[in-house]
Amino acid sequence: MDSSQEREEMRKHNSTYHEFLQTLSVLQWILTFLLLGPVCALLITWVIYCQLWPAFVIYIIWMISDWKTPERGGRRSLWMSKWTMWKYFKDYFPIKLHKTADLDPKHNYIFAYHPHGIMSFGAFCNFGTDSTGFSHIFPNLKPHLTTLAGNFKVPLYRDYLLAA
């Protein structure tokens, strides 16, 4: 086998592996979207009925004291928004962010995303993660996604959403 054939085989292997990681990242997103809320509710129910209920009481007290955080912009995790998984997620579709104007970072802006679909893949990828380079394209702007208020009422799930 000559070097050009080896390179072609390596390219095919890397491409297949890359596609697998893309599919895995999308599967993770879909399972999180559909199941994380109910799983958190079941986990909390289990914690209430076992010896860990004091931890649940402490968490609920903290959650009540933190009740207005979603309305005040949340608490984004830069670490979470830069997960490598989101790059594979972006490449699966592929999703791109196109800058059409310079935006003054001293002002606030509303980015409308329509139609966003049921699962909002593009909106999440562009504004909920940094996989499309939002922080480089629009430096000093901090995007925040909005969602149904009920999503922030489910213990534990709300913290996952607030971090995104």
Query: What's the alpha-carbon Rg for the chain, to the nearest Å?
Result: 20
Whole-angstrom distance, CA of residue 105 vs CA of residue 99: 14
pLDDT higher than threshold 70 for residue 73: yes
Query: Distance of CA 75 to CAs 25, 72, 89, 162, Å?
Result: 23, 9, 22, 6
Quick one: which H or E segment has residue 101?
none
Using left for φ > 0, alpha for ψ between -120 and 50, and beta otherwise, residue 133 falls in left
pLDDT digits (tens, 9 = 90+) for 129-160: 999 999 999 999 989 888 888 889 888 889 98
Token pair in block for residue 98: 């196109």
Asked if pLDDT for residue 1 goes beyond 70, the answer is no
Q: Provide the pLDDT confidence category of residue 8 given band limits of 50, 70 and 90.
A: low
What is the token pair recorded at 146?
A: 């909005």
pLDDT digits (tens, 9 = 90+) for 86-135: 999 999 998 999 999 999 999 999 888 877 788 889 999 999 999 999 99
Whether the full predicted model's pTM is greater than 0.85, yes or no, is no
Q: What is the mean pLDDT of the chain?
A: 89
